Structure 1
């Protein structure tokens, strides 16, 4: 339930060119040219440092002995954790209808568990894909592929992460423990999918959205399948959208080394197919809301959140350049706001539902 795609979340961009214009250099002395280049380099470095996020700065400030492990679990790139935790928070909000804010205790456990197990999933992913990663420009310096972390040490680190995840999981009820443990099969087998099918993104959807069942069960002690199954299917469609966009970044390298993806499968039809999956996301999540007792008019915040999310997603699908890795990355990262908007929609719908029930009782 806890990983992202093989080329996950490398958000560094190449710095601007440091070369002076050749027309000006012919009129500049060597010393002044050297000084100008030094100042230019310093300016660029300052810009790069200024644009780094606080997780990146945190990881870079860590001791050398542990820094590779923080990179291995992608602690410097939290987007994967956000995409993992939101489906769990959605279902938690469906379960905890009586509260304005979904159970802070359960939400905290979900967040910590997502952070830990996303790291474990990335570790598994990099262990399986170390030979592939060596052949892809953006991933060849990952800790395992580059030799900074041995397979033995990666295995020890993975074991520690799994034990930490278990420590979080056992804070919940037995039903949730069983659900959480059952996701390990998906986590360990996901990296194999890109070797055997052009649909690894669909398997990632199965894996990454398992938190929908865990989040609901952690509060209710059971699963309301009429709500959770359509929500799960819709979320798989959402994952297919954002991870296909992400996979377009490495489609050339993937094709050369034999890695399969929906980006390669869809090709020039990506816009049309992803539009279809966005609509499936909208239909399935609307059905989940209907089964939760949401009225289209009275619980309008939820359906407005779905409509705006689908509309925004389709707009992005049709306006980005799929041959531009930077645009693909930006669009991929922006999907965290879809997760946030849907969560606000559920909270808003619960509020209107409680208010209506209170009015009827008076």
Structure 2
């Protein structure tokens, strides 16, 4: 009976993975996917092993680096392009190496889902969180937003940064609200859409840093006017005393 049940589950899983594969093929009209598809058949397996045709992992690894580099830029300046290129290359290489090592390590149980985790006794977070997955995700999301706000305060960010944080909060809220944890295709869509989070925050940091220069100029102008008025008042007072 258990073998029959397991076979049925595996059949359902296979259908799910087919749907997921079709979804991935549909969205893989990117430059990276075309690059892999047009490559020599001899190197295609290695490129796919590194997930070059699915660059979302590299992007998600790069964006936190990009945020840090943008935050570290001098006031009113753009991020260091050389540093962005360096960390971008590093993210690409590390992601490819990680995927390769992971596939070598768990090649017999790769692409498992919650059903397989239960049957194999794997203690994954997918099993641990269970029906409370959205609750945990909400908690993680709030921690992330709070951390971004704290980072903004510590680095004296301006309104473009906080606008981007607000947009990210809306994005995460919508993700969690509409998430179907029992649908791998929907989960994959949500995962891929997190690329927008990286872009939105990066743009907010860059624009916010450029705005700092304008704020500094305004503050300097106000200080100069205040000092000028103080000098005039002092001169007027001295002339009256004389």
Residue of 5, 22, 25 corresponding to 1:13: 22
Q: What residue is the counterpart of 1:60 in the other structure?
A: 37
Using the TM superposition, name which of 338-347 and 99-108 deviates more.
Answer: 99-108
Q: In structure 1, what is the equivalent of residue 74 of structure 2?
A: 97
Query: 1 or 2 for the larger relative contact order (CA 8 Å, sep ≥6)?
Result: 2
Q: How many residues align?
A: 203
Residues in 2 aligned to 1:81 and 1:11: alpha-carbon distance in whole angstroms: 20
Cα distance between partner residues in 2 of 1:56 and 1:256: 34
- Select between 107-116 and 57-66 the one with higher mean Cα deviation: 57-66
Among 118, 128, 132, the residue aligned to 2:95? 118
The unaligned stretches of length 5 or more in structure 2 are: 1-18, 222-242
Structure 2: how far apart are the matches of 1:67 and 1:256? 33
Report the CA distance shift for 1:80/1:14 in structure 2 as closer, same or farther (over 3 A). closer
**Alpha-carbon offset, residue 255 of structure 1:** 2.3
Q: Are 1:283 and 2:146 counterparts?
A: yes
Distance 2:149 2:23 in 1: 41
1:79 partnered with 2:56:
yes
Offset at 1:311?
Answer: 2.1
The equivalent of 2:177 in structure 1 is 318
Pairwise CA distance, 1:100: 4.0
Name the residue aligned to 2:209. Answer: 350
Which of 256, 259, 263 is matched with 2:119 structurally? 256
Q: CA shift at 1:91, angstroms?
A: 0.3
Residue 113 of structure 2 corresponds to residue 131 of structure 1: no
Distance 1:12 1:355 in 2: 49
**2-structure distance, mates of 1:132, 1:99:** 50
Q: Distance in 2 between matches of 1:49 and 1:353?
A: 42
Q: 1:53 to 1:336 in 2, by over 3 A?
A: same
Moved over 4 A (4+): 48-51
Question: Could you tell me the TM-score, scaled by structure 2's length?
Answer: 0.77
Q: Which SS does the other structure have where 2:54 is aligned? A: coil
Distance 1:125 1:312, change over 3 A: same
Structure 2 equivalent of residue 69 of structure 1: 46
Q: Structure 1 pair 359/317, CA: closer, same or farther in 2 (3 Å)?
A: same
Give the drift of 1:51. 6.1
Specify whether residues 95 and 71 from structure 1 end up closer, same or farther in structure 2 by C-alpha distance, changes over 3 A only. same
**CA RMSD of superposed structures (Å):** 2.2
Instruction: Tell me the TM-score normalised to structure 1 length.
Output: 0.52
Distance 1:67 1:284 in 2: 40
Larger radius of gyration: 2
The equivalent of 2:199 in structure 1 is 340
What's the CA shift for 1:118?
0.9
